[in-house]
Chains A and B, each alone.
Chain A
Amino acid sequence: MFAGPYFMGQHRIPCTYLDNQEYVFGSREVLDDCVIEICSRVDGFKVFIPSPAAALIGDDINGSISRNGMEGFATAVDSSLISMPFSSSYDRTVATVLEWMDSEPMDTVEDTVNLIGLPITSPDWDIALEDLTMILSSMGIKVISAPGCGMGLKDSSPSTSAEYNVVVCCEYSKETARYYEKDYGIESISYNGGAPVGFDAILSWAMHIADRMDKNPDPVIGIVDAQKKHVYKKLSGSISSDSIRFKRFGIHADSSILLPLSKWLYDYMSMIPADLRPEPGFDDSMVASAKDFLGNIGMGRGWEPDVDVHVDYLFTDGNSAKSAEISRMCTHGVDISSPSLGRCNIIPRPVIGLQGARYILDEVSNNI
């Protein structure tokens, strides 16, 4: 499958690799060839995303799709998303595909939700999705679909029957949420403490949803409680657990991850936030909350420090984590997002959800 043109023999996103010729004379020919090649070979629907250079050339991708009779199989995003923060461009892409699918609305089914804002760049996103589905299911809430997170064409129409959309990471879901509300009247439930990362935020996130949907959160409280007891047994039996306290950490991540993770590491493990930097596209209110949190504990200087700070643990994308270890900016780098070229998790290591909480604790406890 990957041996043909545009894939270059690798399991990667196909690319047209426009060069000087196309910049001068336009890329219509390459575009037409690519549309036919990709749309006829690959199952499922296709989304064409122009790079800034391609957008500069100005060829009409949707025109090419129509010209070649591929309207039923593909669409193009209408702006140069690569220039935008990743989270908002991801969101825009998902919303574009939903708009293109233009699903027939179905009747609302009570106690059902879509999970929005869970990107597939989150490590082991499928396990995180299962986790969150289980958590909601324990409260009698059924997850119909997760747009932008493994949702197929066949799930598009049923997604319109959800009673609510539940937000995981708000940076990845604003346009998606707006689309569902505008076209199908589905409101979103968004927890202002961030994504369900760490036991505290998982519980708060679930309780916020339960409150909004008039559900009993006791089952989730029980599940989280059981997890905490398991962790207690492990940590209290470990000779190194006393050494974790007051270790310094940094987080370079989306604000919806940074906020709950930093507070949880501080409260749950008595670790000190020393270098917090949100990724572009951050949510302003979450950034404000994170800054307040640092200020309240006397670590205001830990917000985007001017100079490079050495930390014991740096939570960031896998590539940067490794790089920081090698350059000794941190003692141990923790992979919490893509890009991560070296990652190959046979055992799932998500960041979001209960398994994610255990992964984070594992990383902290075993790399002192």
Chain B
Amino acid sequence: MSIAKDLADCHRQNIEPGFVPQSKRIVGSDLDDMMTIYGGLNNLEEAVEKAICDGFRNIFVVTTCVPGIIGDDCAALLSRLSAKHNEVSIRLVNSYGNMTGDFNRGFVDSAKMLLEFVDSSIEPKRDTVNILAERYFFKSGNISDDASVRMLERFGLKVNSRFLYRSNLDSIRQMRGASINFIVDNDNVTAELADILNEMGMYVGPTPLPVGIHAMREFAEFIGKWTGDADKASEVYRSEYDRYRNEIDESRRILRGRRVILVDMYLQGIEWMLELLQDLGTKIVRLGLGHSVNEPELSYCERDVIRRSYTVSELVYDIKTLEPDLVIVDSGLMGVGMVPQVRFNRPCPGIDGVLEYAMRIRDAVIGPAVEGWRCIEWE
């Protein structure tokens, strides 16, 4: 449901004329119970034939768990269809869902396939960048979808392609038009993608696009050296710093001294959240990490507050014993409703996304901890 909503939100935002939104370029083969017994290839064939009928000439088939489990030979089917429709390119990404590595695996395999379309004859333009690995799945909040583009424009950089986010084959073909590529977020997927591009001779910046003011400073220094215009980069950073400070100081008045439990079950690289909580004057009394989460940079909190492989039971216990004012959590499965809670995800690059979280954290403390509608006296 959340993905569908995110796709719908993306569809509503800033769609250029002639650009067919992502939501209109994805179809499913509608497998159901019967097909898990008798096979789903007929449905797949129907879906591909319909896509060809609708005018699509570059079709990518990405498998999920069920075709893998039931043993559908998609490769053979698509090979036959390709021979039948030789004006259409049909490619297969055998990702088999959770059997072979889940969403992340599928994303990287799809990315590898699409990178085959990059036109190597195109010369890079200076001060032009690609943004890599923005994922629909992580898009959230009210910040404009173009916050990262606007941030780069302030540094005098133009965005050539947003690889795998609102991109089409033309923008992928043109990717070598950028002289540098920046990944968004720092996780296993983006690390693998960066390696692939580096092997292709497409330079990937040393750090992801910055999230938070500290990362913004480092990014500005790098851009200043790379573009040769350190003054401009410094001026952009300064302006963002002043904006950040004004907003944070306002929220800090309310949040200073508040006790926070921060729970990170999935997201890597949450230094931006730790930095924000520190800037807001809060005290992190517990940092609960999921088992696959790398330990973040700990200059922002004490080591002894960390618990690894954190569970809901531990959270409930900590709420009772540590008496936090607020719980900040990345997973809906950790909702316990005992104290005000804020869900978080990856913010957009720059400081706008971080400032939005500052506002939400502040609002969670301002608002009543328990809604009035829950306070009912039953006879």
B360 touches A270 (CB 8 A): no
Q: Does B342 interact with chain A (Cβ within 8 Å)?
A: yes
Interface string of A293-333 (1 = CB under 8 A from B): 00001110100000000101000000000000000100100
Shortest distance in angstroms between B147's beta carbon and chain A's nearest beta carbon? 13
The one of A246, A301, A328 in contact with B342, judged by C-beta atoms closer than 8 angstroms, is: A246
Cβ–Cβ < 8 Å partners of A235 in chain B: 373
Q: Which residue of B lies closest to A242 (CB)?
A: B335
Among the 9-residue stretches B16-24, B167-175, B311-319, B364-372, the one with 4 or more Cβ atoms under 8 Å from chain A is B364-372
Interface residues of B in 170-203 (CB under 8 A from A): none
A266 touches B367 (CB 8 A): yes
Q: Which residue of A lies closest to B377 (CB)?
A: A225
Among the 9-residue stretches A21-29, A113-121, A201-209, A226-234, the one with 4 or more Cβ atoms under 8 Å from chain B is A226-234
| Interface size, chain B (Cβ < 8 Å) | 23
Q: Does A272 interact with chain B (Cβ within 8 Å)?
A: yes
Shortest distance in angstroms between A349's beta carbon and chain B's nearest beta carbon? 20
Cβ–Cβ < 8 Å partners of B84 in chain A: none
Cβ–Cβ < 8 Å partners of B363 in chain A: 246, 248, 272
**Could you tell me the distance between the alpha carbons of A346 and B369 in the complex, rounded to whole angstroms?**
37
Shortest distance in angstroms between B136's beta carbon and chain A's nearest beta carbon? 18
Q: Does A271 interact with chain B (Cβ within 8 Å)?
A: yes
Q: Which residue of A lies closest to B1 (CB)?
A: A239
Cβ–Cβ < 8 Å partners of B370 in chain A: 270
B337 touches A236 (CB 8 A): no
Q: Does A267 interact with chain B (Cβ within 8 Å)?
A: yes
Cβ–Cβ < 8 Å partners of B26 in chain A: none
Interface string of B318-358 (1 = CB under 8 A from A): 00000000000000000101001010000000000000000
B368 touches A267 (CB 8 A): yes
Q: Which residue of B lies closest to A235 (CB)?
A: B373
Q: Does A18 interact with chain B (Cβ within 8 Å)?
A: no
Q: Does A67 interact with chain B (Cβ within 8 Å)?
A: no
Q: Which residue of A lies closest to B142 (CB)?
A: A310
B254 touches A270 (CB 8 A): no
Q: Does B53 interact with chain A (Cβ within 8 Å)?
A: no
**Could you tell me the distance between the alpha carbons of A329 and B351 in the complex, rounded to whole angstroms?**
20
A269 touches B366 (CB 8 A): no
Interface residues of A in 255-285 (CB under 8 A from B): 266-272
Given contacts A246-B360, A246-B363, A272-B366, whether A267 and B335 have CB atoms under 8 Å apart is: no
**Could you tell me the distance between the alpha carbons of A297 and B254 in the complex, rounded to whole angstroms?**
10
A232 touches B376 (CB 8 A): yes
Cβ–Cβ < 8 Å partners of B360 in chain A: 246
Interface string of A316-358 (1 = CB under 8 A from B): 0000000000001001000000000000000000000000000
**Could you tell me the distance between the alpha carbons of A297 and B367 in the complex, rounded to whole angstroms?**
8
Q: Which residue of A lies closest to B144 (CB)?
A: A328
Shortest distance in angstroms between A45's beta carbon and chain B's nearest beta carbon? 45
The one of A232, A297, A312, A328 in contact with B373, judged by C-beta atoms closer than 8 angstroms, is: A232
Shortest distance in angstroms between A364's beta carbon and chain B's nearest beta carbon? 11
**Could you tell me the distance between the alpha carbons of A68 and B371 in the complex, rounded to whole angstroms?**
62
Cβ–Cβ < 8 Å partners of A271 in chain B: 367
Cβ–Cβ < 8 Å partners of B254 in chain A: 298
Interface residues of B in 207-262 (CB under 8 A from A): 250, 253-254
**Could you tell me the distance between the alpha carbons of A117 and B307 in the complex, rounded to whole angstroms?**
60
Cβ–Cβ < 8 Å partners of A267 in chain B: 368, 372
Cβ–Cβ < 8 Å partners of B378 in chain A: 229
Cβ–Cβ < 8 Å partners of A229 in chain B: 376, 378
Q: Which residue of B lies closest to A232 (CB)?
A: B376
Shortest distance in angstroms between A366's beta carbon and chain B's nearest beta carbon? 13
Interface residues of B in 130-165 (CB under 8 A from A): 142, 144
Q: Does B374 interact with chain A (Cβ within 8 Å)?
A: yes
Q: Which residue of A lies closest to B13 (CB)?
A: A328
Cβ–Cβ < 8 Å partners of A248 in chain B: 363
The one of B142, B250, B371, B376 in contact with A245, judged by C-beta atoms closer than 8 angstroms, is: B371
**Could you tell me the distance between the alpha carbons of A293 and B144 in the complex, rounded to whole angstroms?**
31
B371 touches A269 (CB 8 A): yes
Q: Which residue of A lies closest to B359 (CB)?
A: A248
A236 touches B371 (CB 8 A): no
Shortest distance in angstroms between B338's beta carbon and chain A's nearest beta carbon? 12
B371 touches A270 (CB 8 A): yes
A297 touches B366 (CB 8 A): yes
A246 touches B367 (CB 8 A): yes
Shortest distance in angstroms between B257's beta carbon and chain A's nearest beta carbon? 14
Q: Which residue of B lies closest to A297 (CB)?
A: B366
**Could you tell me the distance between the alpha carbons of A301 and B362 in the complex, rounded to whole angstroms?**
13
**Could you tell me the distance between the alpha carbons of A176 and B254 in the complex, rounded to whole angstroms?**
45
**Could you tell me the distance between the alpha carbons of A242 and B370 in the complex, rounded to whole angstroms?**
10
Cβ–Cβ < 8 Å partners of B374 in chain A: 232, 236
Interface residues of A in 95-153 (CB under 8 A from B): none
Cβ–Cβ < 8 Å partners of A331 in chain B: 142
Cβ–Cβ < 8 Å partners of A246 in chain B: 340, 342, 360, 363-364, 367
Cβ–Cβ < 8 Å partners of A269 in chain B: 371-373
Q: Which residue of A lies closest to B343 (CB)?
A: A243
B373 touches A268 (CB 8 A): yes
Shortest distance in angstroms between A35's beta carbon and chain B's nearest beta carbon? 51
**Could you tell me the distance between the alpha carbons of A229 and B378 in the complex, rounded to whole angstroms?**
8
Given contacts A242-B335, A246-B342, A272-B363, whether A266 and B373 have CB atoms under 8 Å apart is: no
Cβ–Cβ < 8 Å partners of B376 in chain A: 228-229, 232
Shortest distance in angstroms between A198's beta carbon and chain B's nearest beta carbon? 10
Cβ–Cβ < 8 Å partners of B367 in chain A: 245-246, 266, 270-272
Shortest distance in angstroms between A33's beta carbon and chain B's nearest beta carbon? 51
* Contacts beyond the supplied A232-B373, A267-B368: 4 A-B pairs with Cβ under 8 Å: A232-B374, A246-B364, A270-B372, A331-B142
Closest 8 CB pairs of A and B: A268-B372, A270-B367, A272-B363, A270-B371, A246-B363, A267-B372, A270-B368, A232-B376
Q: 7 A–B contact pairs at CB < 8 A?
A: A228-B376, A244-B371, A245-B364, A245-B371, A246-B342, A268-B371, A270-B369
